[in-house]
């Protein structure tokens, strides 16, 4: 009977989306939080109190992601607020993806709390709804976490389906269902349409996903370029992207940022922050065994004006000092002397160490060769003792994942 669910041509795709993930993980860790209005916010004691996520109990009061903490507390006076614990979330994410991988090897993580599965070849395990129910039950029983699952013939429709019933929903979305379920939704509810794109589409009379599906493709391309045609195809249920387990390795950069406790023009304080950020980025580069040939610096000022500047390098870099030096040089060149609110450092143009051959010329050979002995000694001691004995961290947690937007750890569940 299960075979009737599996097409001879085409795919059966799941999108698994964890519900209110950070808040749910905290409630699983501390059951006394269950049923309470809970928000996870960055640094609640300082002005970095922006809501990262909230429980469904808090959402009933209007508490939303990115809302300032003060506003959230006005809406929900009994709101419980916790700092994010990204190591805890990363561990939960890893265990969740292990459960998905027990069903099929075709699992593609796309963020810490969501991923795609291709179960086209899993007919021996039951029908898609049965498989989805088992996944949902396992995640609930083993991890005490809720999730929603979308079932569809492609990734876009599966993503849209998983959003339709939360929490703990399972939704099937077929192409024949589009007119009655998808097309009536407002255009801003469509995955891939942000607020600016929605505004442009509304200006040409497109209010719903159905309106996008039937609009003139020429006009769409005129205001959105090739993305206009792509979005129209999605609205009509067309999406041929495969579930790619290796896509997680296609990251093009590794970066991190931090909001300062207070606006500052203190150059010593700024240098300390840039060094800490550089250490974090290089630690993650080492974990992925990559080198970088581009450095990008982000500066956000007290008035929230943000500038991003980058530098393409002649040689690959892999050391914290190298990344820090380029970052501080970019800062010195582009800082306008106004108080700084946020700093970010990103290493880009990445390449695997094994694929890179250092091009040494007459002028840098002696300097590089001299350092190479030191690097080898440090690597040997690190291998022996498990930690770089020469490296002193300003913050012992600085190598840990600190935001949900860092994707270079998403294949850890395979280890």
Rounded CA-CA distance 408/158 in Å is 24
Contact indicator for 347, 294 with CB cutoff of 8 Å: yes
Q: Which of 46, 114, 121, 269 is catalytic?
A: 114
- Whether residue 114 contacts residue 18, with contact meaning beta carbons closer than 8 Å, is answered with yes
Contact 135, 100 (CB under 8 A): yes
Across 103-145, the runs of DSSP E, i.e. the strands, are 107-111, 114-118
- Phi and psi torsions of 381, nearest 5°: -65, -35
Residue 248, beta-bridge partner list:
none
Q: Which helix (H) or strand (E) holds 341?
A: strand 340-352
The CA-CA-CA angle for residues 252, 237, 158, to 5°, reads: 65
Question: Cα separation of 280 and 401, whole Å?
Answer: 9
| CA 272 from centroid of its chain's CA atoms | 26
In the annotation, is 71 catalytic? no
Q: Is 242 exposed, middle or buried (0-12, 13-18, 19+ CB in 10 A)?
A: middle
Binding-site sequence positions for Mg(2+): 17, 113
Distance from the first to the final alpha carbon of the chain? 36
Tokens 């500066």 sit at which residue? Answer: 299
Task: Give the strand order in the sheet containing 80-82.
Answer: 51-54, 38-41, 80-82
DSSP β-ladder status, 80-82 and 38-41: parallel
Q: Answer positive or negative: Cα dihedral of 314, 318, 319, 324.
A: positive
Q: What is the DSSP string of 8-60?
A: SSS--EEEEEETTHHHHHHHHHSGGGTTS-EEEES-TTSTT-BEEEE-HHHHT
Closest Cα to residue 371, out of 319, 305, 308, 298? 319
- Catalogue the active-site residues: 114
């Amino acid at each position: 009977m299960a075979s009737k669910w599996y097409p001879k041509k085409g795919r059966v795709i799941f999108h698994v989306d964890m519900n209110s993930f950070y808040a749910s993980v905290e409630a699983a860790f501390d059951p006394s939080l269950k049923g309470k209005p809970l928000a996870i916010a960055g640094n609640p004691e300082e002005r970095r109190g922006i809501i990262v996520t909230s429980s469904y109990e808090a959402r009933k009061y209007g508490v939303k992601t990115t809302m300032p903490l003060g506003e959230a507390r006005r809406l929900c006076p009994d709101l419980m607020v916790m700092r994010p614990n990204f190591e805890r979330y990363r561990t939960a994410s890893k265990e969740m993806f292990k459960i998905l991988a027990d069903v099929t090897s075709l699992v593609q993580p796309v963020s810490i709390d969501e991923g795609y599965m291709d179960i086209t070849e899993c007919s021996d395990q039951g029908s898609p709804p049965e498989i989805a129910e088992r996944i949902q039950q396992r995640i609930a029983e083993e991890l005490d976490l809720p999730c929603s699952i979308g079932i569809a013939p492609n990734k876009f429709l599966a993503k849209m389906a998983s959003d339709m019933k939360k929490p703990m929903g399972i939704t099937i979305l077929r192409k024949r269902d589009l007119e009655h379920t998808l097309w009536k939704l407002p255009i801003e509810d469509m995955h891939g349409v942000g607020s600016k794109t929605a505004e442009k589409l509304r200006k040409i009379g497109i209010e719903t996903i159905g309106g996008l599906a039937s609009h003139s493709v020429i006009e769409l391309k005129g205001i959105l370029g090739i993305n206009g045609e792509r979005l129209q195809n999605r609205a009509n249920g067309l999406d041929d992207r495969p579930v790619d387990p290796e896509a997680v390795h296609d990251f093009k950069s590794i970066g991190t940022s931090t909001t300062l406790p207070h606006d500052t023009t203190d150059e010593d304080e700024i240098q300390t922050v840039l060094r800490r950020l550089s250490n974090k980025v290089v630690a993650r580069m080492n974990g992925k065994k990559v080198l970088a040939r581009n450095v990008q610096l982000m500066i956000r000022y007290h008035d929230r004006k943000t500038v991003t500047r980058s530098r393409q390098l002649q040689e690959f870099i892999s050391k914290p000092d190298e990344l820090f030096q380029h970052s501080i040089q970019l800062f010195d060149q582009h800082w306008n002397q106004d108080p700084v609110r946020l700093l970010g450092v990103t290493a880009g143009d990445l390449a695997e160490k094994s694929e890179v051959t250092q091009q040494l010329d007459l002028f840098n050979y002696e300097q590089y060769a001299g350092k190479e002995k030191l690097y080898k000694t440090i690597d040997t001691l690190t291998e022996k003792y498990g930690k770089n004995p020469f490296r002193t961290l300003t913050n012992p947690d600085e190598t840990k994942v600190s935001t949900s937007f860092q994707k270079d750890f998403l294949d850890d569940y395979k280890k």
